[in-house]
Structure 1
Amino acid sequence: MAQAQVYDHGGGVRSLQVPIPDNPLGHTLVHVVDTDRGPVLVDTGWDDPASWDTLAEGLAACGTAPGEIHGVLITHHHPDHHGLSGQVREASGAWVAMHAADAAIVRRTRETRPGRWFSYMAAKLTAAGAPEEHVAPLRTARARELPGFSPALPDREIVPGELLDLAGRRLRAIWTPGHTPGHVCLHLEEEHPAQLPGHGRLFSGDHLLPEITPHIGLYEDPDDATVTDPLGDYLDSLERVGRLAPAEILPAHQHAFTDAPARVRELLTHHEARLTGLLTLLATPLTPWQLAERMEWNRPWDQIPYGSRNIAVSEAEAHLRRLVKLGRAEAVAGSEPVAYVAA
């Protein structure tokens, strides 16, 4: 097993690299925050025996152990962040806190029969114009093929704008929807230990990363037909974080960095350029699937694996919704599956 990578950020904050199996991201940065009642974790890492061993080893290197954790703050419900929360709670009796919108997703995931999810996904992909050979496997899929079907139910709510109940620390929750409906960043409103200019430090989860653009897809809910605008949510909450101007950002992947406003500008420019590029593609009507096939990804479409294609289509749809909302694209009347064209 690889030795746990531990980094001391000063001021009672450390980060540990917890591996994500078979994933190009490599690892989740789990942050350990000292409080007067014991250490609190920001995220926990993927639910996997090797990841758990690395987390335990990293905590030991910090002079603590899973059994000594006082609480767990989850930035969002994805399994590389929330996966080990249940095991940490089992080992320590720690509370687990999450924003209500993502807690609702966790509850729904636990209560929804896997077959219901697979049929929902099949219907969504068919409506997006996916070919039958792509949809067919979902009709015969079984639960064991997907991780994260019984994530831990949180027992506390992270309320945006409120200071969290952490003895001896000032940590405020900021709601930053987009990557998920209930994504939160956590603002440590304390002087930077190295006196860097700016306002405290920000645990940014997946909302703001130094070199990666987080995935913005549709919020999936089989029981809710509301037309959401995740990309619009994301761009709005990006600007909110930029205005905060933290001295340092401690993200859940890659590495710590400074100058949040500059990174926010880069991301806003990236998405604006992407939306403009999509309008060029939409000179002729395209379904979301056809648009995804033509969009620029980190590799050619024919090399994108099955699961990643589903994510790509979701991202294409999120961009289409934004264009429709801005009046820059529209659905073609009577098209089946629905195609979109530049307005």
Structure 2
Amino acid sequence: MTKTFDHGGGVRSVQVPIPDNPLGHTLVYVVDTGRGPVLVDTGWDDPASWDVLVAGLAACGTGASEVYGVVVTHHHPDHHGLSARVREASGAWVAMHEADAAIVRRARETRPERWYAYMADKLAAAGAPEEHIAPLRAARGRRTLPGLSPALPDRDVVPGELLDLPGRRLRAVWTPGHTPGHVCLHLEEDHPARLAGRGRLFSGDHLLPEITPHIGLYEDPDDATVTDPLGDYLDSLERVGRLTPAEVLPAHQYAFTDAPGRVRQLLDHHEQRLAGLLALLREPLTPWQLAERMEWNRPWADIPYGSRNIAVSEAESHLRRLVKQGRAEPLAGSEPVAYVAV
């Protein structure tokens, strides 16, 4: 059953399902403009998800062929997956921040065996046991890897600028952290229910009402730059909090108010988590060992293979923040590299 919701002021949302994922669905927003609807994100590239999106657009009084443009908050497949099909159906433009557009280009151009080798080497450097790395080494000869043909965007989302939505004021706000090119979109118009605050914010995965988004490493096989995704995310949170939107329209769960309050909760959460990791780092630990000891939503033994890779990436992003703050440091001579609190 297709679920849609009218948020007022020419903004509706469609719940587009994510197959076999506990998140359940992506909220695809349909924004009326003088040239036809513009979508904020499109949902997962799956036939059933496409059918739901098409039915949802019909329930909103429009159709896939009428879409004027697509603004992608970030490159992940539950947001960008159906962009190509929407463009094929309508001729719509597809816009994305350049940092995430570069990831899309890299994903399309990099050979699958290069990705497998890169992932295996990264996990080995993080201290993963050989039995965890072995499947990646065995997969190097495979010629395919899921999710490596996302749509190439044809427009850039430029931070600070208004997007091409005739009759509307939608401004891009760069919020790196979850991905390097994640953007929120500030609808600079009075709230239709006259709620106090400054317009509405399409927040993608940056600001969610109950979920803390994954903050892992920015992956690039050809770039050894030591990035600080968690530092980027915390800075971006404060930027969004200062906008004081009347309402937040996130990509998952439900719309909510009091963005500054939610920002404070997330800032506190990460500071508490960093303090907890420092306590663990009283003894030297590799990123893998740290991930094993961190608190997750289930015991480490119950975390599936792919999710363990994500957990290690998140442990590494927190380690990089602690090192940058001067609160932890790599242990000289350790191999793989272990970290210890200062």
Deviation at 1:140, TM superposition (A): 2.1
State how far apart, in whole Å, the 2-side matches of 1:84 and 1:73 are.
12
| 1:275-320: CA deviation from partner (whole Å, max 9, x where unpaired) | 0000000000000000000000000000000000000000000000
Over aligned residue pairs, what C-alpha RMSD do you find? 0.6
| 1:183-211: CA deviation from partner (whole Å, max 9, x where unpaired) | 00000000000000000000000000000
State how far apart, in whole Å, the 2-side matches of 1:129 and 1:248 are.
43
Paired position in structure 2 for 1:193: 192
Deviation at 1:148, TM superposition (A): 1.1
**For residue 138 of structure 1, what is the amino acid of its counterpart?**
L
**For residue 65 of structure 2, what is the amino acid of its counterpart?**
G
State how far apart, in whole Å, the 2-side matches of 1:136 and 1:47 are.
29
State how far apart, in whole Å, the 2-side matches of 1:265 and 1:330 are.
28
State how far apart, in whole Å, the 2-side matches of 1:60 and 1:98 are.
25
**For residue 121 of structure 1, what is the amino acid of its counterpart?**
M
Paired position in structure 1 for 2:308: 309
Paired position in structure 2 for 1:57: 55
Structure 2, gaps ≥5 residues long? none
**For residue 199 of structure 1, what is the amino acid of its counterpart?**
R
State how far apart, in whole Å, the 2-side matches of 1:281 and 1:195 are.
48
1:332 aligned to 2:331? yes
**For residue 38 of structure 2, what is the amino acid of its counterpart?**
V
**For residue 225 of structure 2, what is the amino acid of its counterpart?**
T
State how far apart, in whole Å, the 1-side matches of 2:241 and 2:55 are.
35
**For residue 290 of structure 1, what is the amino acid of its counterpart?**
Q
Paired position in structure 1 for 2:242: 243
**For residue 56 of structure 1, what is the amino acid of its counterpart?**
V
State how far apart, in whole Å, the 2-side matches of 1:25 and 1:113 are.
30
Paired position in structure 1 for 2:147: 148
Deviation at 1:143, TM superposition (A): 5.1
Partner SS state of residue 297, structure 1 = coil
**For residue 48 of structure 2, what is the amino acid of its counterpart?**
A
| 1:219-267: CA deviation from partner (whole Å, max 9, x where unpaired) | 0000111100000000000000000000000000000000000000000
Inter-CA distance 5–143: structure 2 relative to 1 (3 Å threshold): farther
Paired position in structure 2 for 1:233: 232
Paired position in structure 1 for 2:261: 262
Paired position in structure 2 for 1:11: 9
State how far apart, in whole Å, the 1-side matches of 2:138 and 2:262 are.
43
Paired position in structure 2 for 1:129: 127
State how far apart, in whole Å, the 2-side matches of 1:111 and 1:302 are.
35
1:111 aligned to 2:109? yes
State how far apart, in whole Å, the 1-side matches of 2:17 and 2:136 are.
28
State how far apart, in whole Å, the 1-side matches of 2:158 and 2:138 are.
40
Structure 1, gaps ≥5 residues long? none
State how far apart, in whole Å, the 2-side matches of 1:4 and 1:179 are.
28
Runs (4 or more) in structure 1 with deviation over 6 Å come to: none
TM-score, scaled to structure 1 = 0.98
Paired position in structure 1 for 2:299: 300
1:86 aligned to 2:84? yes
**For residue 76 of structure 1, what is the amino acid of its counterpart?**
H
The within-5 A match list for 1:21-40 is: 21-40=19-38
State how far apart, in whole Å, the 1-side matches of 2:88 and 2:130 are.
43
Deviation at 1:109, TM superposition (A): 0.2
Percentage of identical aligned residues:
83
TM-score, scaled to structure 2 = 0.99
| 1:58-80: CA deviation from partner (whole Å, max 9, x where unpaired) | 00100111111100000000000
Between the two proteins, the alignment pairs up a number of residues equal to: 340
**For residue 177 of structure 1, what is the amino acid of its counterpart?**
P
| 1:11-33: CA deviation from partner (whole Å, max 9, x where unpaired) | 00001100000100000000000
Deviation at 1:139, TM superposition (A): 1.2
**For residue 19 of structure 1, what is the amino acid of its counterpart?**
P
